[in-house]
Amino acid sequence: MSERLAKIRELLDAHEQGHLLSGWDQLDESSRADLLDQLQLLPWDTIDVVRESIVHRVDSNPPPQDLQPPVVCDPTPEEAAAMAERGIAAIKAGRVAAFTVAGGQGTRLGWNGPKGTYPATPVSGKPLFAIFAEQILAAQRRYGVTIPWYIMTSPVNDAATRAFFLDNKCFGLQRSNIMMFPQGTMPSFDANTGMLMLSDPGRVAENPDGHGGALTAMARSGALADMQARGITIISAFQVDNPLVQVIDECFIGLHESPDHSSGEVSSKMVAKVDPTEPVGVFCQVDGRTRVVEYSDLSEELAVASEVDGALRFAAANIAIHLYSVEFVASLTDPGADELPWHRARKKSSWWDPATGSIIDPAEPNVVKLERFIFDVLPRARRSAILQTHRACEFAPIKNASGQDSAASSQQIQSDLYGGWLKKQGVDLPWDEAGHVAASIEIGPLTAMRSEDLAGVELPGHVDQGGSLLL
């Protein structure tokens, strides 16, 4: 041990991070070995570069220049039907898998557990994972195929996520068709000094490496090889916190596979921004390639810029729903491929202070976290398609404990959508002045995946004001 300790001490001194051994005397043998393992495996070259950039306040990712509006596909009903037919052929051929990024920390929501276990639906309080599982089950039944489901967890929530699935008998799916794997981590940096920090005397503080960590995690875990072995060619990827996501969308898959629109490497869905200053990433074109620009990187001038007809120039909001080809992901994770860039975010995170020997809970953001963003793969594609969709039908994220993008706002959007389906079938519903359903309505994926599926379902004639209906 002492020889190994001496080597690591040397390594730390070379990178000016010797304070990481401050808690050494308090550790037992096994914690000491764990700490040395962790220190040996840290990405030291990246750490030095990031530290320098924090100290000198250098922005490592200058925003792209010369942004042009993106090409968005808004198909006519006939075009959509043709795309859906193409998509169905791919699904029936067993070429499509689902993929959820569920490794986030969910700090804004403040839920004590993996976000996917959060009760999301307006009447039964069904957890997010159950909604996605039922959609997969319904699509499997409809098309007579297996749709494997890959879920990226984090080292922190992996065990709890697995336990949740086992406790719930995988929501009716076969366990052998669900594969979970944890994403990677990166050390967190002191936001002022750029130094690494300890989360306790024997552990360097780390955070998940962002949803863009999915690429390397897929390759490292064997998920990508599993897809290849199963003959999967298309990955339908989505975030864990949107209960309205269409996990398997025939039309979107068909667009992705249409050579007229796409090189079939990566496709995305967009919704129109609600207003020019909405804090969402927008699609644009740079040097003829599609990419997402974060709202913080879009100047106010560009954010409000409009076309001659008055429409916003950069109105296509990214809702983090993408299709990837397995081949494309494999090419991006080849050992020689360029890695995705790191993005820096200032966050609040508790840490162990060697000076006082206590855990500090900061009141203000105190660390810089490094994350990769999955949308940074877009410009790597030759031609990437964007499908126009509608917020009210496909996007009701649960991010915050209250207010916008909370469970309450999401459940209202869900009730409104299902209320609209029922209205089409002639059910009499209470509506308020703002056009929202004044009742809680929930339609599970096993009952209907689209409004048309309700045609054969027995429905009530009306729903009372303030009442609830679960189908």
- How far apart CA 244 and CA 126 sit, in angstroms, is 13
Q: Does 53 bind ligand UTP (CB under 6 A)?
A: no
Which range touches ligand UTP (CB under 6 A), out of 38-46, 123-131, 204-212, 448-456? 204-212
Q: Does 349 bind ligand UTP (CB under 6 A)?
A: no
Q: Does 369 bind ligand UTP (CB under 6 A)?
A: no
Q: Does 75 bind ligand UTP (CB under 6 A)?
A: no
Site string for ligand UTP, 298-337 (x = CB under 6 A): ----------------------------------------
What would the 3-class secondary structure string for 275-293 be? Answer: CCCCCCCEEEEECCEEEEE
We find the least distance from the C-beta atom of residue 102 to ligand UTP, in angstroms, to be 5
- How far apart CA 234 and CA 386 sit, in angstroms, is 16
Single-letter amino acid, residue 106: G
- How far apart CA 395 and CA 243 sit, in angstroms, is 8
Q: Does 210 bind ligand UTP (CB under 6 A)?
A: yes
Binds ligand UTP (CB under 6 A): choice among 32, 51, 95, 115:
115
Q: Does 404 bind ligand UTP (CB under 6 A)?
A: no
Q: Does 108 bind ligand UTP (CB under 6 A)?
A: yes
DSSP character string of 217-230: HHHHHTHHHHHHHH
We find the least distance from the C-beta atom of residue 99 to ligand UTP, in angstroms, to be 11
Q: Does 208 bind ligand UTP (CB under 6 A)?
A: yes
- How far apart CA 256 and CA 380 sit, in angstroms, is 16
Q: Does 414 bind ligand UTP (CB under 6 A)?
A: no
Binders of ligand UTP among residues 164 to 193 (CB under 6 A) are: 183
Q: Whose Cβ is closer to ligand UTP: residue 243's or residue 444's?
A: 243
- How far apart CA 195 and CA 17 sit, in angstroms, is 7
- How far apart CA 442 and CA 78 sit, in angstroms, is 30
DSSP character string of 105-140: --TTTT-SS-GGGSB-STTT--BHHHHHHHHHHHHH
Number of CB atoms found within 10 A of residue 397's CB: 20
Binds ligand UTP (CB under 6 A): choice among 47, 67, 102, 429:
102
Binds ligand UTP (CB under 6 A): choice among 23, 104, 194, 264:
104
Q: With beta carbons less than 8 A apart as the criterion, state whether 189 and 365 touch.
A: no
In this structure, are strands 440-442 and 468-470 parallel, antiparallel, or unpaired? parallel
- How far apart CA 469 and CA 463 sit, in angstroms, is 7
Q: Whose Cβ is closer to ligand UTP: residue 246's or residue 262's?
A: 246
Q: Does 106 bind ligand UTP (CB under 6 A)?
A: yes
We find the least distance from the C-beta atom of residue 242 to ligand UTP, in angstroms, to be 8
Q: Count CA within 13 A, CB hemisphere, residue 192.
A: 3
We find the least distance from the C-beta atom of residue 101 to ligand UTP, in angstroms, to be 4
Q: Does 423 bind ligand UTP (CB under 6 A)?
A: no
Q: Whose Cβ is closer to ligand UTP: residue 209's or residue 442's?
A: 209
Q: Whose Cβ is closer to ligand UTP: residue 35's or residue 109's?
A: 109
Q: Whose Cβ is closer to ligand UTP: residue 75's or residue 187's?
A: 187
The residue whose Cβ lies closest to ligand UTP is 104
Single-letter amino acid, residue 198: L
Binds ligand UTP (CB under 6 A): choice among 399, 416, 418, 442:
399
Q: Does 152 bind ligand UTP (CB under 6 A)?
A: yes
Binds ligand UTP (CB under 6 A): choice among 40, 61, 68, 107:
107
Q: Whose Cβ is closer to ligand UTP: residue 31's or residue 350's?
A: 350
- How far apart CA 289 and CA 327 sit, in angstroms, is 19
Q: Which residue has the tokens 């009903």?
A: 77
Partners of residue 358 on adjacent β-strands: 353
Q: CA nearest 226: which of 139, 330, 373?
A: 330
Q: Does 243 bind ligand UTP (CB under 6 A)?
A: no
Q: With beta carbons less than 8 A apart as the criterion, state whether 325 and 264 touch.
A: yes
Q: Whose Cβ is closer to ligand UTP: residue 293's or residue 443's?
A: 293
Partners of residue 150 on adjacent β-strands: 99, 179
Q: Which residue has the tokens 């027995």?
A: 458
In this structure, are strands 440-442 and 282-286 parallel, antiparallel, or unpaired? unpaired
We find the least distance from the C-beta atom of residue 280 to ligand UTP, in angstroms, to be 12
- How far apart CA 304 and CA 107 sit, in angstroms, is 31
We find the least distance from the C-beta atom of residue 279 to ligand UTP, in angstroms, to be 12
Which residues of the chain form contacts with ligand UTP (CB under 6 A)? 101-109, 115, 152, 183, 208-211, 213, 239-241, 371, 399
